[in-house]
Chain A
Amino acid sequence: MSEPGPTPRADLFWALAWIAVGAAMFAGGFTMDRLERQHINPYTAPGLVPALLGIGIAVLGAILLVRSVRRGALAAADGGRAAADGGRLALALGLCLAYAGGLVGRTLFGWHVPFWLATALFDFASIVAFEWRDRRARGELGRGIAVAAACALGTAAGVTLVFQEVFLVRLP
């Protein structure tokens, strides 16, 4: 079953954002150093292409704006999109960002978190968290935790071994 498409109101907000982004890009490109002191050909100014792309994005944003208004973006009733999967998404995003941004390559309380440990913790927590409901319903929580631990340790050991010993990558 396919999800419903974005509403005209969502498109309206996106259109306004694109116009703002395009305007910012144009301003950034237009005010960029034209390297006149280096006597470069003015047609090779570094800001030329970003400024033109900014105009392009702003024009396309304006077309999207007109279209969304024509499709009823300003009408009072606009149901919006149901965020049925909001909880799972937040959990996935939180776990991924905590691992990649908060654990990998970080020093916590004066201790550098080894990559293998960060990986094992992330894998274990993710598998347990996303399988929790189904496993509990089937009365298989213990088995689920064991499977998660095995997968987490296997992944941590495998990835560390391959990247550190075979590809000679200095892990973060």
Chain B
Amino acid sequence: MLDGLVLFGRALAGFADPLTLLIIAGACLIGIVIGALPGLTATMGVALLTTLTLKMPSNIALIVLVCSYVGAIYGGSRSAILLNIPGTPANAAACLDGHALAQQGLAGRAIGISTTGSVMGTLIGMFFLAVATPWLGEVALKFGAYEFFWLALFGVIISGNLTGSDPLKGWLAGFVGLFVACVGQDPIHAYERFAFDNRDLAGGFQLIPALVGAFGFAEVLTVLAARTPKPVIRGFDTPLPRIGDVLRHWRTILRSGVIGTFIGVVPGVGEDVASWSSYAAARRASREPEKYGKGSVEGLMAAETGDNACVPGAIIPVLALAVPGSAPAAVLMAAMIIHGVQPGPLIMVNNPQFVFDVVAMMLYATIGILVFGLALVKPLLKVLQVPREIIMPIVFVLCVIGSYAISQRLFDVWTMLGFGVAGYVLRRYEYPMAPFVLGIVLGDLLDKNLRRGLVLSDGDLTPFFTRPISATLAAICLATMLANFTFVRRAARAAFAALTPWRKAA
């Protein structure tokens, strides 16, 4: 505990020079702007900024990415409140009550509430990040090949189940992502798979160009293809938060913070599910559920606390297991690897300072969103009014040059284009992108550990199902998939009723 505090203090002091603080401020502001502009998501922002920060020292580059990630998830609430368009998918729940408050002339109060909720959510998540990462890292040291195989599959299945409207399509997207990771040299024998004698394909698809395509180019196409009317923003009251709102809703804040963090830890699920889950839990526990959707302060607070708490939550498994908790966290993980940080179970052994560096980055990001969120209300309104037709071509230029800059080869630009078009088509037919991305990230882990596990057990499959953690993960995977089939649910209900006859009698 004391060691952690010392490492945290050292991290805080390490970032406290004027130049770094200026960079942090810039990164928070860029993140808020990215989040506030509908069409620019947190994943896209972090992916583009990864390419822009390649030449920076690793800690500075990563603080830029963490601050922009936190900023984007917070910034998305701005357009949700003022335009009824969520800036990022994570802010969809904020539209319900945030925009209703704005329509009542209380947009300023709604901005204050979303800022308070986001700040509190990030702080709660940050606390768990500091406490749970070392603990989870220690547990993960006991993981073997069998557990890592199931963990990778678990991430893809849970993400597929929860992130889209159709779990079947989510799993398909996840499996395709796992396959994409198989292209290129295999991780055990360096045998070229599906390379078709192409030198570039033999190296496999790089993650960042693939993500820039799937989230950036696909989004550019989506936004440019749709005609968007010029946003109309009405005048509003002061955005300064009221202390009474925090004190009155402390239970909601705490509950949403815990839910958001927990959902963040679940691989590949992400901020939108965290936001909706926190919102639903707050509504169930509320004394005034009828106000939800009509301008409930509590509802907005819950949604915004939940999604921002998810950000540090999603980084916990990145650091402890090298398994991302959300799509932007997957990009962040790739950026960590590019910058020479190897996340995973050994991080607390080899590089414990880095874990607390990330906690300190979260704190600076929280201060950044608090200051900019409240101080720059009017300039942010101007940004919201810039036509998408001007922003999106510029974003596409960044997608192209960002993909190219990583390895300075045109193949990565083609990768970005290919994944962008595929991402656009898949999304149009309701195939979610988060499990696809998670599949690409976790493909290597699944591939290596399945084959290692089989070698260790000499082809015997039983250790995959009999070791305690493996058995638990396997059971969750199976139950998650089967629960989506009506005949299984019906059979389970019938079996439950047969086993508990007293419930029927009661």
A residues near B (Cβ < 8 Å) are: 5-6, 10-11, 14, 18, 21, 25, 28, 32-33, 35, 38, 40-41, 43-50, 52-54, 56-57, 60-61, 63-64, 67, 85, 88-89, 91-93, 95-97, 99-101, 104-105, 115, 119, 122-123, 126-127, 130-131, 147-148, 151, 155, 159, 162-163, 166-172
**Shortest Cβ distance from A47 into chain B, in angstroms?**
7
- Known contacts: A88-B225, A92-B225, A104-B410. The answer to whether A50 contacts B179 by CB under 8 A is yes
Residues of A within 8 A of B221 (CB): 89, 92-93, 96
Give Cα A163–Cα B402 distance, bound, in whole angstroms: 9
**Shortest Cβ distance from A51 into chain B, in angstroms?**
10
Q: Is the interface of B mostly helix, strand, loop or mixed?
A: helix
Within 8 A of A (CB), among B222-261: 224-227
In the complex, are the beta carbons of A48 and B175 less than 8 A apart? no
Give Cα A151–Cα B397 distance, bound, in whole angstroms: 12
Q: Is the interface of A mostly helix, strand, loop or mixed?
A: helix
Selected A-B contacts with CB under 8 Å, 14 pairs: A44-B451, A44-B454, A49-B178, A49-B446, A50-B193, A60-B168, A92-B224, A96-B220, A122-B393, A123-B397, A126-B396, A163-B405, A167-B55, A172-B413
B466 at the interface (CB under 8 A from A): no
Interface 1/0 per residue, B395-411 and A, CB below 8 Å: 01110110011001010
In the complex, are the beta carbons of A61 and B172 less than 8 A apart? yes
Interface 1/0 per residue, B464-485 and A, CB below 8 Å: 0000000000000000000000
Given contacts A5-B165, A105-B410, A167-B52, 15 further A-B contacts (CB under 8 A): A5-B430, A6-B429, A18-B172, A43-B454, A43-B455, A53-B179, A89-B224, A93-B221, A96-B396, A122-B396, A126-B393, A163-B401, A163-B405, A172-B410, A172-B413
B394 at the interface (CB under 8 A from A): yes
The 10 closest A-B pairs by CB, nearest first: A43-B454, A126-B393, A92-B224, A130-B389, A89-B225, A46-B191, A46-B186, A85-B225, A49-B447, A44-B451
Nearest opposing residue in chain B for A170, CB measure: B408
B372 at the interface (CB under 8 A from A): no
- Known contacts: A44-B451, A60-B175, A167-B54. The answer to whether A50 contacts B182 by CB under 8 A is yes
Residues of A within 8 A of B194 (CB): 28, 50
B450 at the interface (CB under 8 A from A): yes
Residues of B within 8 A of A11 (CB): 429
- Known contacts: A25-B179, A33-B191. The answer to whether A64 contacts B394 by CB under 8 A is no
Within 8 A of A (CB), among B21-62: 52, 54-55
Interface 1/0 per residue, B169-184 and A, CB below 8 Å: 1011001101100100
Nearest opposing residue in chain A for B194, CB measure: A28
In the complex, are the beta carbons of A85 and B227 less than 8 A apart? yes
In the complex, are the beta carbons of B168 and A35 less than 8 A apart? no
- Known contacts: A169-B408, A171-B401. The answer to whether A88 contacts B394 by CB under 8 A is no
**Shortest Cβ distance from B437 into chain A, in angstroms?**
16
Residues of B within 8 A of A28 (CB): 194
In the complex, are the beta carbons of A85 and B429 less than 8 A apart? no
Most buried by A among B186, B387, B458: B186
Give Cα A61–Cα B221 distance, bound, in whole angstroms: 27
**Shortest Cβ distance from B65 into chain A, in angstroms?**
16
In the complex, are the beta carbons of B179 and A100 less than 8 A apart? no
Nearest opposing residue in chain B for A53, CB measure: B179
B189 at the interface (CB under 8 A from A): yes
Nearest opposing residue in chain B for A124, CB measure: B393
Nearest opposing residue in chain B for A6, CB measure: B429
Residues of B within 8 A of A168 (CB): 55
Residues of B within 8 A of A33 (CB): 191
In the complex, are the beta carbons of B401 and A101 less than 8 A apart? no
**Shortest Cβ distance from B475 into chain A, in angstroms?**
18
B459 at the interface (CB under 8 A from A): yes
Say which residue of A96, A99, A100, A167 sits within 8 Å of B405 (CB atoms): A167
**Shortest Cβ distance from A109 into chain B, in angstroms?**
19
Give Cα A172–Cα B390 distance, bound, in whole angstroms: 24
In the complex, are the beta carbons of A130 and B191 less than 8 A apart? no
In the complex, are the beta carbons of A64 and B172 less than 8 A apart? yes
Residues of A within 8 A of B458 (CB): 43
Give Cα A97–Cα B172 distance, bound, in whole angstroms: 27
B414 at the interface (CB under 8 A from A): yes
Give Cα A109–Cα B430 distance, bound, in whole angstroms: 43
Residues of B within 8 A of A57 (CB): 172, 175-176, 179
